[in-house]
Chain A
Amino acid sequence: MKPKLKKQPPLAPRKRRPVKLWQLRLYVMDQTARSVAAFTNLKKICETHLKGRYRITVIDLVKHPQLAKGDQILAIPTVVRKLPHPVRTIIGTLSETEHVLVGLDLRVGA
């Protein structure tokens, strides 16, 4: 999982609109209340807006601290949208859905 996640071949930029698969990473530390809340919120939003075309990878930094550097993680929890490009970052428990949609750039499509 680790080496695959580190390098993602970029998608062809000319076909931006029809994105096949959204790749999201959720960085957490252990199973804290915040982590759980963030995951739940993310899952809910994705189910609503990206049903069937998303994949969430949860990365627990307690187990893999070396992965924090790659995506410039400072805050926990953090969601990184690896695909589609460009990379977007949202920090927090994702409690405000509007903000998350702005952050993931989902409002245009919605």
Chain B
Amino acid sequence: MCSGGLCKKVPYMKSKRTKSPSAATPLPKCPTGIQGLDEITSGGLPRGRPTLVCGSAGCGKTLLAAEFLVRGAVQFDEPGVLMAFEETEKELVANVASLGFDLAGLVKKKKIVVDYVHIERSEVQETGEYDLEGLFVRLGYAIDSIGAKRVVLDTLEVLFASLPNEAMLRAELRRLFRWLKEKGVTAVITAERGRESLTRHGLEEYVSDCVILLDHRVEDQIATRHLRVVKYRGALHGTNEFPFLIGEEGISVLPITSLALNHEVSTERIATGIPRLDAMLGGRGFFRGSSILLTGTSGTGKTIIAANFAQAAARRGERVLFFSFEESPNQIIRNMHSIGLRLEPLVKRGLLRFHSQRPSLYGLEMHLATMFKEVAAFKPQVVIVDPITSLMDLGTSSEGKGMVTRLIDYLKAVQVTSLFSSLTPGGQAPQQSEAIMSSLMDAWLLLQDFEGNGERNRVLYVLKARGMAHSNQVREFLISDHGIDVVDAYIGASGVLTGSARAAQNALEKAALLTNQQEAARLEREVERKRAALERQISGLRSEYETEALELRRIAEQVGTSTLMLTNERAASGRLRQADANVAAGTRSKSRQGRKTQ
């Protein structure tokens, strides 16, 4: 697998190589170091075998190949040979310098050899038989001179244009790939995309271990590059098309599906900067590292709530990165100043950083790359994207979702709390438009306008908040000179009342209370009056009784007196008829005695 001479020159490589037993392990891989590509190919390109990278013009074949070499030399200590058929060494150095690769320096350090192969058909006369031994010699010499482990042939197909003898060329190419395998170098061969086949000259016929297809498509005037592993003999690989971008730090492939859902989670809670809102979220605000969606139609105060959140975080001493896609930093600072948020000192202290860009400046992928870069550079604890919808409009909805997924995954992986504001088009159910995003979000605040009584009033409620008890109430919030004030909306039989209707209802209730109090007092007085009347009646009756009683007593006395007088009169007349009276008295007493003696 590995030629002796090479391994002697790089002894540590040999030990690494021999460590992996070729029989037991599925396939030794050669990490490319290219962000994301190693994830898709689960480890890299097949070690010691050629890989074909094909794609149409301008899709980044040469850059991919060059990055493979440079990262190999820098990160994995594997020197490499770049055999260029199209570009001169100078051009290549300049081209990859834009990706931050110091190719010239690596050439000087003997980490990379660049060999520019140029053959002009018009200058070459062909007569008789020949083969491409010269190419082999050059490549072999270059490989041996630095002990190269990696080889890039960019773009071999140029030979088809330069050399008229195609039969010979094909035989020689077949030999070349076999020779590369014998040499034990991991090779990347680039080729133009063909109309019907993968490559214009059918190179895939010779390179059958691994084929990577690059593609540059324009959809809705926005170009996106895609990468797909068409074939990878003897290994599992991601089969999807993955968008990739060429940024200032090289190529990054963004494998949506390969990011595992295994973020660290925090139970720490962070305040929103609006105490009443915190109270609605179980009293303590959002979880650190969660993703928060803030939706609402225009003018509902999304940016204000976001700015509040930013200010609260920055005041705690956290770094906040504010991506604004609609307003310039100065505009935000001025506008927020009007409601009492002073962001400028926080910006000056380096706690708050604005990053303003027009969404149409470049495509979705580039925006994503820029955001990744900003986050990596600033290392914020809180990221605010205002609004995410203007970014998502750049691509199709699946691309947009893919982008948000990647962004959230990335931010969660580094424990950054993210707040995304989202503009809902008017006249649509607010839940509808963000349906694609909602499943990605941990918390969702909904801001709404209530129109009525000739005014618009803002309300907010917590639509969802994963992992915390949260209020189910609709709250009205007022924006004043001193910030946001969340108040209870009136919820009654007639629905939710806000603004002046709420005030009117309050007045109505106050009036009703007053009436009730008055009524109670009146009833109290009535009782008192009744009691007094009763008392009066009682005293009347009593006096009547007393008068009557007096009269009756007087009559009784009179009757008594007259009885006495009568008795006395009888006694007097009796005395007048005394005898009779005595006799009568004596007989009555004798009869009584007689009965006693018997």
Contacts and interface: CB of A to CB of B under 8 A. Distances in A.
Q: Are A and B subunits of one complex? A: yes
A76 B129 contact: no
Interface in A12-66: 27, 29, 34, 37-38, 41, 61-62, 65-66
Interface string B287-307: 000000000000000000000
A66 B125 CA distance: 23
A90 B128 CA distance: 10
Contacts of B135: 74-75
Nearest to B134: A73
A99 interface: yes
B116 to A, nearest CB: 8
Interface in A61-91: 61-62, 65-66, 68-69, 72-78, 87-91
Contacts of A69: 115, 138, 141
A73 B133 CA distance: 9
Given A75-B134, A76-B134, A89-B123, A96 B117 contact: no
B138 A65 contact: yes
B124 interface: yes
A48 B318 CA distance: 88
Contacts of A78: 130, 134
Contact of B125 (A73, A87, A103): A103
A27 B130 CA distance: 11
Q: How large is the interface on A (under 10, 10 to 19, 20 to 34, 35 or more residues)?
A: 20 to 34
A29 B131 CA distance: 10
B126 A99 contact: yes
Which DSSP category, helix, strand, loop or mixed, fits chain B's interface?
A: mixed
Q: Which of A69, A75, A78, A96 has the most CB of B within 10 A?
A: A75
A3 B141 CA distance: 18
A93 B133 contact: no
Interface string B11-28: 000000000000000000
B134 A61 contact: yes
Contact of B124 (A27, A34, A91): A91
Interface in B104-157: 115, 117-119, 123-135, 137-138, 140-141
B163 interface: yes
Contact of B128 (A38, A73, A74): A38
B160 to A, nearest CB: 13
A102 interface: yes
Contacts of B129: 34, 92-93, 95
Contacts of A61: 133-134, 137
Q: Which of B115, B126, B128, B132 has the most CB of A within 10 A?
A: B128
A32 to B, nearest CB: 9
Nearest to A78: B134
A41 B125 CA distance: 15
A91 B130 contact: yes
Contacts of A91: 124-127, 130
Contacts of B125: 88-91, 99-100, 102-103
A97 to B, nearest CB: 8
A26 B32 CA distance: 40
B126 A74 contact: no
Nearest to A75: B130
A34 B137 contact: no
Nearest to A91: B130
A65 B141 contact: yes
B137 A65 contact: yes
Q: Which of B115, B133, B140, B141 has the most CB of A within 10 A?
A: B133
Interface string B160-189: 000100000000000000000000000000
A69 B145 CA distance: 13
Contacts of A103: 125, 127
A27 B134 CA distance: 9
Nearest to B113: A69
A100 B131 CA distance: 17
A34 B127 CA distance: 12
A98 to B, nearest CB: 8
A106 to B, nearest CB: 11
A3 B128 CA distance: 30
B137 A90 contact: no
Nearest to A90: B125
A88 B123 contact: yes
Interface in B490-541: none
Contacts of B137: 29, 61-62, 65, 68, 73, 76
B128 A95 contact: yes
Nearest to A76: B133
Given A65-B141, A68-B134, A68-B141, A74 B127 contact: no
Given A34-B131, A75-B132, A103-B127, 6 more contacts: A61-B137, A72-B119, A74-B117, A89-B125, A94-B127, A94-B128
6 contacts: A61-B137, A66-B141, A68-B137, A68-B138, A74-B119, A88-B123
Interface of B: 115, 117-119, 123-135, 137-138, 140-141, 159, 163
Counting from the closest, the 3 A-B pairs by CB-CB distance are: A103-B125, A93-B128, A92-B128
